[in-house]
Amino acid sequence: MRTYFIVFLGFTLVSVVLLRNLELPPITVQDEKLFNTVASLSAILFAFLSAAYPNYIARLFEPPKRENQFTPKIITVAVICLFLAYISIIGGSYLSYVTVLLPITDIQFEGNNQDILVAYTDNSFLWRRPLNGKITKAILNDLDGDNYPEVIAGLADPGDDTGYLVIYSTTGQAVDKINTWQETIYPEGEESYYAKVVDFQVGDLEGDGKKDIIILSNDIYWFASRILVYEFRDGKLIMKSVYWHPGYLYKTYLLDLNKDNTQELLVTGVNNDLKTIVPELGGNIRTVMMFEGDRIGGQAPPGFGINSNGEEYPLGTQSWYFIIQPKEVADSKVIIEDIDKNGIDDIHLGLSDSCSFYININGEIIQEAMGTVCKGNSSLDAIIFSNE
C-alpha cells in the first residue's frame, strides 16, 4: 500500500472515531435524506471517474519517479475522486451512528446544579445537553406519534431559564421551549418575575387523541402559582387554559376514575388567602382539589385575583376543593382504588399522620381509616366554591 493511500485511510479512520465520540449537533430526517443522496451520487461519480481515468488513479498511489510527473489535470481529477470518496465514507459513518433513530430508554441529570440532561438507549450514551436551569423533572413521551419519544424537562433556579419547560427530540434537537411565568393576578404582594416548574404530566385530558401537558408553576419569592394546560400541536406547545392558586402547588395526578376517556386532574398544594375569610385556619393551609380534564381554569378560593382591567378574575372550575386540618398535617400519598366496588375508582388520600380518607369522583368522603399513629383528629373540609 502506497504512502498516499495510507495517509488518506488513516485520516478517514481518525475522522470516523471523532465523529462517533464528539457531541455534534444531530441532523434531521430531511438532512439525512439529502446526505444520503449526496453520498450516493458521490460514490457513483467516484466509480465513473475511476473507470474513466484508471491510470491516473493508480499512478496517484505510486511514488513519483521523477519531479513534475503528474500534470495539474491529473492531480485535480485525483483530488476530486478522493474528496468524493471521503464524503461517501465519512458521511455514511456519521449517518449510521447519529441519524439511526435509536429510541431513548433512559434520561439522567448531571452537573453540580443538576442542569445537564443526558439521554441513553439500553445503557449506551446518545447525547448530552446543558440547560440553563436546575432540572426538576424530566420524562419520556411520544408527543408527535412517530413512535420515538421526546424528552420533556421542567426547570427551576438557579439559571436564567428557571420556570421554562423544554422539549427535545429523540436525536437531541430542541423542539420547543416555553416560559411558564405569567404576571400575577393577585393585587397583594410583590411581583417576582420568575417561576419554577414544580411538576408536570402528559395526558389526553379531553379524550380527543391529542397530547396535553399539564404544568404546575410556582412563582419564586412569592406565593402565586398556576396550573397551565398546553396542547402539543404541529411541533409546538399551544396554551389552552390557566388556573390560578394563592399558594404553592406541589403535585399533580392524572386519573380517569369513571373510565369515560376524559381524564380528571388531582392537585395538592397550600392556600395562603383562606385565612383572610377564616382567620382561625391560619396560613399555609394544605389543600387538595380535582378538575375535569376539559374544565380547568379560573382561580381558587377565596377568589381575590383581578384581571388586567381591574375586574374580578373568573372563579375556578374545580369539581371540588378540600382543606386538610389541622394545618400541621400534609398529604403523603394518593392511591386509586374502587373502595365501594361500584365500578368507578375512588381516591385514597393518605395523610402524614397515617390517617386516610376515601373520596369518590363527586367529592364525597365515603370512608375514613386510621393508621398506626392516627388519632382521628385529622379532617377534610370542603370549600363550597363554584363559578356556576
Model pLDDT for residues 150-192, shown as the tens digit of each residue: 999 999 999 999 999 999 999 899 999 999 998 889 886 666 6
Of residues 108 and 100, more confidence is placed in 108
Dist CA 231 CA 240 (whole Å):
7
How many other C-beta atoms are found inside a 10 Å radius of the C-beta of residue 387? 13
Cell 449537533 belongs to residue: 25
Dist CA 380 CA 388 (whole Å):
23
Of residues 382 and 121, more confidence is placed in 121
Give Cβ neighbours of residue 344 (< 8 Å, ≥ 6 apart).
Answer: 257, 258, 259, 338, 360, 361
Give Cβ neighbours of residue 358 (< 8 Å, ≥ 6 apart).
Answer: 339, 346, 347, 348, 349, 365, 366, 367, 368, 369
- What pLDDT is recorded for position 387? 44
Residue 295 is classified by DSSP as: -
Residue 48 is classified by DSSP as: H
Dist CA 288 CA 365 (whole Å):
13
> Where does residue 77 fall: left (phi above 0), alpha (psi -120 to 50 degrees), or beta otherwise?
alpha
226 pLDDT higher than 50: yes
Q: How confident is the model at residue 83 (pLDDT cuts 50, 70, 90)?
A: low
Residues 40, 46, 50: CA angle, nearest 5 degrees: 150
- What pLDDT is recorded for position 116? 94
Cell 498511489 belongs to residue: 61
Q: How confident is the model at residue 300 (pLDDT cuts 50, 70, 90)?
A: very high
Task: Identify which of 286, 278, 274 has the alpha carbon closest to the alpha carbon of residue 378.
Answer: 286
The C-alpha cell that represents 261 in the structure block: 376517556
262 and 256 in contact (C-beta within 8 Å)? yes
Strand order of the β-sheet with 331-337 is 331-337, 346-351, 356-359, 365-369
Work out the burial of residue 50: count CB atoms within 10 Å of its CB; fewer than 13 is exposed, 13-18 middle, 19 or more buried. Answer: middle
- What pLDDT is recorded for position 282? 75
Which tens digits make up the pLDDT trace of 34-71? 555 655 666 666 566 666 656 655 555 555 555 555 45
Give Cβ neighbours of residue 188 (< 8 Å, ≥ 6 apart).
Answer: 304
Strand order of the β-sheet with 212-219 is 195-203, 212-219, 224-233, 236-246, 298-299
Q: Which helix (H) or strand (E) holds 271?
A: strand 264-271
Overall pTM > 0.85: no
Taking each helix axis from N to C end, the angle separating 3-21 and 72-98, rounded to the nearest 10 degrees, works out to 30
378 and 369 in contact (C-beta within 8 Å)? no
Q: Give mean pLDDT, residues 123-133.
A: 91
Phi, psi of 183 (to 5 degrees): -60, 130
Residue 320 is classified by DSSP as: E
Taking each helix axis from N to C end, the angle separating 29-52 and 72-98, rounded to the nearest 10 degrees, works out to 150
Cα–chain center distance at 304: 32
The C-alpha cell that represents 15 in the structure block: 475522522
Dist CA 145 CA 148 (whole Å):
7
Dist CA 64 CA 230 (whole Å):
69
Dist CA 45 CA 318 (whole Å):
67
Dist CA 253 CA 265 (whole Å):
6
Q: Give mean pLDDT, residues 313-319.
A: 93
